Structure 1
Amino acid sequence: MGLVGLSTTNERDHQPDWPVESEVRRARAALARSAPLVPASDIRLLRARLAEPAFLLHAGDCAETFRDNTRQSVANRVSLLRGISDAIELKSGRSVVTVGRIAGQYAKPRSAPVEQRAGLALPSYFGDAVNDADFSPGKRAADPWNMVRAHEQSRKTLTYLSDSGVFTSHEALLLDYEQPQTRRSADEGRLYDHSAHLLWIGERTRSLTGPHVAFAAEIANPIAVKIGPGATPADLMALHAVLNPDNIPGRLAFIFRMGRRRAYDLVYAMLSRMVAEGWVDRVVCDPMHGNTVVSPAGVKTRVVGDIESELRAFFGACNDTGVVPGGIHLEVSGDDVSECVATQVNDTYLATNYRSVCDPRLNPVQAAYLGQVVGELLVPHREFSAWLEVAMSHR
């Protein structure tokens, strides 16, 4: 067993080393008996929407917490997502599909398995579905029943989301959470993961020989894959062959998170290969994860100007390859947090209302600004998107 219940021997797959295996089996059995969080019919509806030439707004919390799962918090997040969606639609004339990082984003891979503070080393925080953010030995121990609590909290969130028009998503990281919620539909015989409408595979777990890609290949949900600067066009080809071998619209999205300095060149190379191969996979920009910096006081933050730079580089690569931009992926808060800065890193500002338990999120003003930027960048694609909508309506 690893340090306080988390192993360093399974870092490759980022799975917890739960302390008591019998408790894991019991937690998995409880999840397997639970009612589906989302029905297969709604999953199919999202997949159909993603097969259309709509723009994808994929945004929400870096890591949801049980503590903040309140009706008001969810309402704030939904209001922000709908505001960004409306701004993009109004500015660009292109319809938007809204998918939240919500109702299940309770697990996070971390760059280091151990966190150290004042000489004390404890397991890193891997999300409320695994352990607690509080830095104490008892709280940082991995508890498989947290997965059951995450399921209960996700169901609670879904009651707040009813009739909001927002689909749900999270990173399919904890296989002990995802697999028990995967069932075969009675009407068509396909496997669906009922934990969310859309699942994504992270940059750290997209290995072709790893269990996450194998799991995603089996389910019929829409799937996204994060693609970082270490990936090559050949990696994309291999992922496409496994996850969307029949080249079906709405099935697969690639979310590029390259960092602003290399974004244009790397995305251009990827898109050029996709065009050459004739793939229909959606291309999405995550301009946040490649642009995280650390302040002089040691606080993680992101600069809105850097985020905008990567957005513009992504849209530039799309323009120059003739690919229609498929969406954006953002980490946002519905509250007035001070986790990202406008142009310069400022520890005094960051300290005013820094609340994230993991990565820095955009506040509503910052997110709304980037929504306006995206709407403007989409305008040159308006004519082609309108033509594509008409063409698809006559299929």
Structure 2
Amino acid sequence: MFVSTQIPDLNSWRSRPIVQQPEWEDRSELDAVTAELAGQPPLVFAGECDQLKDRLAAVALGEAFVLQGGDCAETFDGSGADAVRNKIKTLLQMAAVLTYAGSVPVVKIGRMAGQFAKPRSKPTEVRDGVELPAYRGDMVNGFEFTPESRRNDPQRLLRAYYSAATTLNLTRAFTQGGYADLRQVHAWNQDFVAGSPAGRRYEQLAGEIERALSFMRACGADPAEFSGVEFYSSHEALILDYEHALTRVDSRTGRPYDVSAHFLWIGERTRQLEGAHIDFMRKIQNPIGVKLGPTTSPDDALALIEALNPDHEPGRLTFITRMGAGKIREGLPPLVEKVAQSGAPVAWICDPMHGNTFEAESGYKTRAFDDVVDEVAGFFEVHRALGTHPGGLHMEFTGDDVTECVGGGHEITEHDLHHRYETYCDPRLNRQQSLDLAFMVAEMYGAAR
């Protein structure tokens, strides 16, 4: 294999304008922490990133569908076996629905093992006249509203690395050690979801899958090939000191990869063309994504392609749209049309969560399940009208029985939000709502083909 000697300047982002970074009190402490991170083993491998790029190339060509999901903001306490298993279970159930009912291969990506930092609209938070730094995710500071907790602590970057390593070890065990075996399709439904409308519908589908596997076995085919699944990790590449410290030059190719995750994305707040985040991401070889909100123009989209994938490499770049149910049908068509005309091989994914957040009368931040469904429907309608491929779904969900989003098959109202509102950041769909959505998306996908 040819090994390149052309290693780009991986520090050039430091001279670019940068936003959404914490103010560290002690730079020498940060330097010591990032030096330690730079000596740690990779969390993922370059070959795995290349494999995901191949899978995303199939999505861009209309041959597969992406299901990406997990917590809004992971916590260090959430890296235990039960929490990780429940998120994987949710994604596996949704993928089974989409694969079988939608007749499409599903690329499975978790918002897991690194989603420990969040951008903030304001750098500080005020409660009862007391002003403290905003909570930026467990990678930076603590959720508790005290000066000690809200201190931006570089040591948390190390804790993020070790928590990510724990999560990835568990993920690999669950997805390759038999838990993800498609013959376990009924076992994934033996809890609080089973008696819900979505759970009952899923059980019928699981029975169909089981009969199909039995038929294959009777015909002499070996269903053992379904004993594991490919599962990839992702997070927003927000805190660049962390991402830079975990960038390694691949010995096979001499090219740099950010080995903190397989797939990384740039958020709506950090996608400035001349900014540090774009500069950093253009240097790494991972498949990457960019969030596009309702203010994105077609020229913005083309400029992002030129900056991040000028060679039009298939699978390299994914656009994740987050426009809101009321804006997607108007805002998305010009972007998709212009990109399609350019010939750039972009995978399009819908994030129906971030454009549909509102505050309930009770003060809880929430989302309406119907708005989420409507944005996804608009996403499919636009692509069907333009003859392009609706490539996937980017979700914030949990495997737990939370009450954070209103609506769904087990109708959650604003009066129910307080029962199990557990998120540290934005509201997430619970597993019943996630399954409801998976069945609806499978129908939409079938109609769009």
**What is the TM-score when the length of structure 2 is the normalising length?**
0.81
Partner amino acid, structure 2, of 1:81: L
Indicate if the aligned counterparts of 1:295 and 1:345 stay in contact, CA closer than 8 A: no
Q: Shift in Å at residue 346 of structure 1?
A: 3.8
* Residues 1:378 and 2:445 aligned together: yes
* Residues 1:176 and 2:246 aligned together: no
Q: Shift in Å at residue 348 of structure 1?
A: 2.4
CA distance in 2, matches of 1:127, 1:11: 22
Q: Deviation string for 1:8-52 (max 9, x for gaps)?
A: xx9961011100000010011011000000011111111111111
Closer/same/farther in 2, CA of residues 299 and 345 from structure 1, 3 Å limit:
farther
- After the TM superposition, which of the residue ranges 267-276 and 339-348 deviates more from structure 2? 339-348
Which of 288, 293, 309 is residue 353 of structure 2 equivalent to? 288
Q: Sequence identity of aligned pairs in percent?
A: 43
Match of 1:70 in 2: 80
CA distance in 2, matches of 1:116, 1:266: 35
Q: Deviation string for 1:297-341 (max 9, x for gaps)?
A: 221000000000100111000011111111110000110010000
* Residues 1:357 and 2:357 aligned together: no
Q: Shift in Å at residue 380 of structure 1?
A: 3.0
Indicate if the aligned counterparts of 1:260 and 1:307 stay in contact, CA closer than 8 A: yes
* Residues 1:118 and 2:128 aligned together: yes
Q: Shift in Å at residue 114 of structure 1?
A: 1.3
Q: Shift in Å at residue 135 of structure 1?
A: 1.0
Q: Deviation string for 1:92-146 (max 9, x for gaps)?
A: 1010000000011000001111112222211111000000011111100100110
CA distance in 2, matches of 1:159, 1:96: 22
Q: Deviation string for 1:142-170 (max 9, x for gaps)?
A: 00110011000000111101151320000
Indicate if the aligned counterparts of 1:190 and 1:220 stay in contact, CA closer than 8 A: yes
Q: RCO (CA 8 Å, sep 6+): is it higher in 1 or 2?
A: 2
CA distance in 2, matches of 1:136, 1:370: 38
Match of 2:47 in 1: 41
Indicate if the aligned counterparts of 1:185 and 1:191 stay in contact, CA closer than 8 A: yes
Structure 2 unaligned blocks of 5 or more: 1-15, 176-229
CA distance in 2, matches of 1:150, 1:263: 35
* Residues 1:231 and 2:237 aligned together: no
Runs of 4+ in 1 over 3 A off after TM superposition: 343-347
Which of 32, 46, 49 is residue 38 of structure 2 equivalent to? 32
Give the secondary structure class of the aligned counterpart of 1:203: coil
Indicate if the aligned counterparts of 2:268 and 2:293 stay in contact, CA closer than 8 A: yes
Which of 114, 126, 139 is residue 129 of structure 1 equivalent to? 139
1:239-258 map, 5 Å? 239-258=304-323
Match of 1:7 in 2: none
Match of 1:155 in 2: 165
Indicate if the aligned counterparts of 2:367 and 2:404 stay in contact, CA closer than 8 A: yes
Which of 268, 271, 279 is residue 214 of structure 1 equivalent to? 279
Structure 1 unaligned blocks of 5 or more: 1-9, 383-395
CA distance in 2, matches of 1:235, 1:191: 26
Indicate if the aligned counterparts of 1:47 and 1:251 stay in contact, CA closer than 8 A: yes
What number of residue pairs does the alignment pair up?
A: 373
Partner amino acid, structure 2, of 1:175: L
Q: Shift in Å at residue 248 of structure 1?
A: 1.3
Match of 1:320 in 2: 385
CA distance in 1, matches of 2:340, 2:257: 30
CA distance in 2, matches of 1:24, 1:107: 16
Which of 265, 277, 280 is residue 342 of structure 2 equivalent to? 277
Match of 1:145 in 2: 155
Partner amino acid, structure 2, of 1:32: A
Indicate if the aligned counterparts of 1:295 and 1:346 stay in contact, CA closer than 8 A: no
Match of 2:103 in 1: 93
CA distance in 2, matches of 1:89, 1:158: 24
**What RMSD in Å do the two structures reach over aligned CA positions?**
1.4
CA distance in 2, matches of 1:217, 1:181: 16
Partner amino acid, structure 2, of 1:55: F
